[in-house]
Amino acid sequence: MSTRDEEQIDQLAEALDHWSRMLNALRVRAGLQQKQLARMLDASPTNASRWLSGHKILVQGGASLPSIKLTEAVIRHLAPTAEEASHLAHLADRIHQLQTELASRYTNWRQVAKEHLLKTSHDASPSSVTSRSPQHPFLDEPGHQHVPVGLSAATDDLLGKDTDGVADAPISDGNGGLGLSVQAPPERTDDRQALQGAEREGQQPTQFTRPAEDQQPPAPSEKAGKKRTSGQTNRRRGLVTALGAFIAVAIAATAITTMFLRSNAQPDKTNENGAFGPAQTPTTESNASSLEKDTLGKDSRCSVLQPGPDQITWRVCTRVEDERISFALKVTNSSKNTSTVKVNLQYVQARKFNACPGEIPRLLEIPAGQTIVTNTRQCAVPRQNSPYAYQASGCVIASTENACSYKLSPTAHVYPDTTKWQPDII
């Protein structure tokens, strides 16, 4: 087995762990027992139990992995918040992607995955169980919104209990939410015990408070030591909680099939009110399979070309300026007719998804044969004195649609005096 295969199995196991933790927390918040959950999802109790077991489903077998269709049913019946639904859908897409890639190389890929997980859950002593931290955390890839999602401490306590039980009170962050928080991926326990029926070992994830030394964002090169302006030379360097080399929030994943957009918005006209305008900035030569550089101006990057409705194509972009970080969508209409699409744009800062300050989502009218770039003033945040990682997260869909598949721009690791893009155009 190649290193790549091992990495993908590890990533699949982590995605399954996070997906199952979110499902269990939603189940408890709804006051459902496992059997009730199974009936709601039109599944057998065995399948429901396997879906709640995380990566152990690869070891125990007996059920198919959580699918995109199943996740849509979970979102429909358990009514998570938009952010929770977004994370769930992204994880389901990542699970689908990883198992598809493994299946393309191994006809018995689940057996291969099982053997790898059993092997890596042990040290040399059969009687000793070692906790295994993943060597290959979720990768930062443009277009893959891959988020290591943890839940609150209350949820962690719940996972150590009988999964057929119902908590006395719903899990909440105090504001009606599920209480999502970024944590280190849950530690794996001995999978051989899982084969013997140990459904829960009670291992608790460690609260993520500070990245390890080898998880810091890429260090700025000596060539990049030049300050931006004299008025900014006193910006204080610092470390940021939960900032690591893998911070690009890239899963899960290719698509996040959620976020219900407003259907009663009026379409914007090109150049009206300065909200949108044609793309005028020269960009680095690129094609559909490559990133794009300087689309929004100096020090900006855009994702690979994405297909939209009809003959619409689009990219999601991030720009770093002296005083702010801005985000935009570049949308092209290749048809001979004016097209109206629904656009949505968010930004990611240090793992957290945030809504743009401007009026987004909205309808956008694009003349035939033209390219429109959304106004960066509608989605921008001040540049900080401490290093942060930023990405744009957006989607473009038909004006009559509501479900949205989000894509990510390259990650900008922004330091007080320089910026590192990951990945970047050479």
For residues 148 and 280, state if they share a domain.
no
pLDDT of residue 361: 65
pLDDT of residue 80: 84
Radius of gyration of the chain from its Cα atoms, rounded to whole angstroms: 22
CB-based contacts of 25, cutoff 8 Å, min separation 6? 151, 155, 158, 171, 178, 179
Hunting for tokens 């050479």 — which residue is that? 426
Give the orientation angle of helix 109-120 with respect to helix 82-105, to 10 degrees: 110
Most confident of 127-131, 238-242, 274-278, 348-352: 348-352
Residue 229 forms part of a structural domain: no
Residue 28, token pair as written in the block: 């408890």
For residues 99 and 187, state if they share a domain.
yes
For residues 28 and 150, state if they share a domain.
yes
For residues 190 and 292, state if they share a domain.
no
pLDDT of residue 1: 74
Residue 237 forms part of a structural domain: no
Instruction: Select from 159, 180, 195 the last residue of a domain.
Output: 195
Residue 246 forms part of a structural domain: no
For residues 166 and 274, state if they share a domain.
no
Q: Which residue type does 70 have?
A: L
173 or 312, which is more confident = 312
Residue 92 forms part of a structural domain: yes
Q: Give the 3-state secondary structure of residue 223.
A: helix
For residues 24 and 167, state if they share a domain.
yes
Cis peptide before 142 (omega within 30 of 0): no
Instruction: Select from 172, 195, 218 the last residue of a domain.
Output: 195
Could you tell me the residue range of the domain that residue 63 belongs to? 3-195
**In the predicted model, is pLDDT for residue 310 greater than 50?**
yes
For residues 264 and 188, state if they share a domain.
no
Residue 227 forms part of a structural domain: no
Residue 19 forms part of a structural domain: yes
For residues 175 and 30, state if they share a domain.
yes
Instruction: Select from 155, 179, 195 the last residue of a domain.
Output: 195
Residue 126 forms part of a structural domain: yes
Number of C-beta neighbours around residue 389 at 10 A: 26
Residue 216 forms part of a structural domain: no
For residues 162 and 23, state if they share a domain.
yes
Q: How many domains in the chain?
A: 2
Tell me the pLDDT of the chain averaged across its residues: 68
For residues 30 and 155, state if they share a domain.
yes
**In the predicted model, is pLDDT for residue 65 greater than 60?**
yes
Give the mean model confidence (pLDDT) for residues 354-379. 85
pLDDT digits (tens, 9 = 90+) for 111-159: 988 999 998 864 333 333 333 333 333 333 334 333 333 333 333 333 3
For residues 141 and 289, state if they share a domain.
no
CB-CB contact of 289 with 386 (8 Å):
no
For residues 281 and 406, state if they share a domain.
yes
Give the orientation angle of helix 82-105 with respect to helix 68-78, to 10 degrees: 160
**In the predicted model, is pLDDT for residue 302 greater than 90?**
yes
What is the DSSP secondary structure assignment for residue 393, as one 8-state letter? E
